[in-house]
């Protein structure tokens, strides 16, 4: 199905149904995805999804109301559904209160981005994945295909963004709670890169047969893989970078914006929309710059500013979503080579994954969470044993500040694996981090 042409037809239809002083805002989402579930290195549940969603907002004066539906691609059926939700939004508009922070883009800025990337066929993906799992218990899910976003308003603005991507989230299962987890995601499938990741996981798997080691609570030299670091940034994304949490002083970077502390000079982090999967516009029609610097050389830089925060605090919006959460995080790498990580770690913990993160002291940037999957105890640059589950409790100012020894030059593209309702387009491109003093508490 040609989503782009369908969006244009739908946008024109909504505009035609917009009356008098009303202004309509239309948000269109579509995906065409393959899903493959694997167990014991074989396909257990293949499937494909074609989904189209439309949300229409009507604005009149300071009032706003919305309604949503799913579309089918059948012209007559879709015209009826569009007419129904426009009528629903119009009825709700009559009872809607004035919104003091209403803001949408009233200066039309149209754009178009179509990225047709090199994804494998379903058969080629199955062949590569099952070949890597030969003789092992591979468990996971592969999701791939096109996601598309469109925005239109009755003022004449049209924005379109579509991209192809894939995401293989999987593990080699050993026994009980022991497994080696891995992920391969991006825009272009490279057999060599996938084979390297699979080989690294396979080489780690035999270590899980050794007697697990429990270390006493204390401070340890540690290496956080990009996947582990993604859990840290993923949790901080809930409130760390938005203008609203800064103005209400509920951000975990409060010490940084007050000048009391900062991260290491080699830590730079940005919202890199140009290199991600998320669209370069948001649901009120504001365009998003290719890059926004969030942390520059250790110091907090810019906030993500949604239209509502813009209206409330008098700060120009930079196209952030309503939650003011990053969608395309990009962290600069360092000089540490991936192949030298164990040698540079020496003796300490190799943290493959983290989970169940939470704040133990939000305003001071203190986080807690658990190690997961194949986290290892390392001695003299050699993996000795799997590490039993441990809890960490430490501040971002120590982990990526005073105790940061280095970042890997190689970075990994990590796509959010969420598929609740629709495929997530959130992404991170991250290095691994070597930490001199990492606090384990339980």
Q: Find the CATH number of the domain harbouring 31.
A: 3.30.2290.10
Q: Are residues 150 and 10 in the same domain?
A: yes
Contacts (Cβ under 8 Å, ≥6 apart) of 316: 305, 310
**Do 312 and 390 belong to one domain?**
yes
Query: Alpha-carbon distance 376 to 373, whole Å?
Result: 9
Q: Select from 428, 427, 430, 418 the least CA-distant residue to 143.
A: 418
Distance between CA atoms of residues 204 and 376, nearest Å: 10
The Cα 181–Cα 386 span in angstroms is 13
Lowest mean pLDDT among 12-16, 213-217, 371-375: 371-375
C-alpha dihedral (64, 70, 71, 76), degrees to nearest 10: -80
pLDDT per residue as tens digits for the range 18-54 = 999 999 999 999 999 999 999 999 999 999 999 999 9
Contact 363, 254 (CB under 8 A): yes
Q: What is the DSSP string of 129-169?
A: HHHHTTTSEEEEEEEEEEEEEEEEETTS-EEEEEEEEEEEE
**Residue 188 confidence (pLDDT):** 93
Are residue 35 and residue 142 in the same domain, yes or no? yes
The tally of domains found in the chain comes to 2
216 and 172 part of one domain:
no
In a shared domain, residues 198 and 69: yes
Question: In what helix (H) or strand (E) does residue 195 lie, and over which residues does it extend?
Answer: helix 191-204
Residues 3 and 52 sit within 8 Å (Cβ to Cβ): yes
pLDDT in tens, 52-105: 999 999 999 999 999 999 999 999 999 999 999 999 999 999 999 999 999 999
Element (H, E) at 234: helix 226-236
What are the tokens at 252? 């975990």
Phi, psi at residue 397, to the nearest 5°?
-75, -20
Containing structural domain, residue 370: 210-440
Same domain, 15 and 146: yes
Number of H helices, E strands in the chain: 10, 22
Last residue of a domain, one of 206, 240, 256: 206
* Mean pLDDT taken over the chain: 96
Percent of the chain with pLDDT over 90: 95
Whether the predicted pLDDT of 175 surpasses 90: no
pLDDT single digits (tens) 398-418 = 999 999 999 999 999 999 999
Q: Write out pLDDT tens, residues 116-143.
A: 778 999 999 999 999 999 999 999 999 9
Q: Are residues 202 and 215 in the same domain?
A: no
d(CA 331, CA 204): 27
**Residue the block writes with tokens 């203190």:** 366
Torsion of CA 79, 84, 87, 92, to 10 degrees: -140
Give the residue from 158, 187, 206 where a domain finishes.
206
**Rounded to two decimals, what is the model's pTM?**
0.93
Given 185, 206, 227, the domain boundary residue is 206
């Amino acid at each position: 199905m040609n989503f782009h042409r369908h969006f244009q037809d739908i946008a024109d239809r909504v505009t035609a149904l917009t009356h008098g002083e009303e202004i309509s805002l239309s948000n269109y989402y579509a995906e065409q995805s393959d899903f493959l579930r694997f167990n014991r290195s074989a396909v257990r549940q293949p499937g494909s999804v074609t989904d189209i969603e439309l949300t229409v907002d009507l604005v009149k004066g300071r009032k706003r109301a919305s309604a949503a539906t799913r579309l089918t691609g059948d012209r007559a059926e879709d015209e009826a559904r569009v007419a129904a939700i426009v009528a629903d939004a119009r009825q709700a508009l009559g009872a809607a209160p004035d919104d003091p922070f209403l803001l949408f883009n009233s200066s039309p800025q149209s754009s178009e981005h179509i990225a047709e990337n090199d994804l494998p066929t379903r058969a080629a993906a199955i062949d590569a994945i099952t070949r890597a799992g030969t003789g092992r218990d591979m468990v996971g899910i592969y999701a791939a295909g096109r996601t598309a976003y469109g925005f239109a308003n009755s003022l004449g603005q049209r924005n379109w963004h579509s991209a192809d991507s894939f995401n293989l989230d999987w593990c080699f299962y050993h026994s009980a709670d022991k497994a080696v987890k891995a992920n391969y995601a991006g825009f272009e499938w490279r057999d060599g890169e996938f084979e390297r990741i699979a080989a690294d996981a396979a080489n780690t798997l035999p270590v899980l047969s050794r007697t697990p080691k429990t270390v006493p609570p204390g401070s340890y030299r540690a290496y956080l893989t990009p996947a582990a670091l993604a859990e840290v940034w993923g949790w901080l994304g809930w409130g760390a970078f938005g203008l609203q949490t800064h103005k209400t002083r509920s951000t975990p970077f409060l010490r940084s914006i007050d000048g009391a502390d900062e991260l290491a000079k080699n830590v730079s982090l940005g919202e890199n929309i140009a290199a991600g999967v998320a669209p370069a516009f948001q649901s009120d029609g504001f365009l998003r710059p290719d890059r926004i610097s969030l942390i520059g050389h250790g110091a907090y830089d810019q906030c993500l500013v949604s239209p509502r925060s813009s209206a409330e605090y008098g700060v120009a919006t930079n196209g952030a979503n309503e939650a003011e959460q990053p969608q395309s995080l990009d962290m600069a790498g360092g000089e540490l080579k991936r192949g030298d990580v164990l040698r540079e770690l020496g003796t300490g913990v190799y943290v493959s994954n983290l989970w169940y993160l939470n704040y133990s002291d939000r305003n001071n940037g203190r986080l807690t969470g658990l190690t997961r999957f194949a986290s290892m105890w390392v001695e003299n640059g050699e993996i000795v044993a799997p590490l039993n589950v441990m809890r960490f409790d430490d501040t971002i100012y120590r982990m990526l500040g005073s105790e940061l020894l280095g970042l890997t030059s190689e970075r990994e593209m990590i796509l959010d694996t969420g598929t609740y309702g629709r495929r997530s387009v959130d992404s991170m491109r991250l290095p691994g981090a070597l930490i001199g003093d990492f606090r384990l508490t339980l």
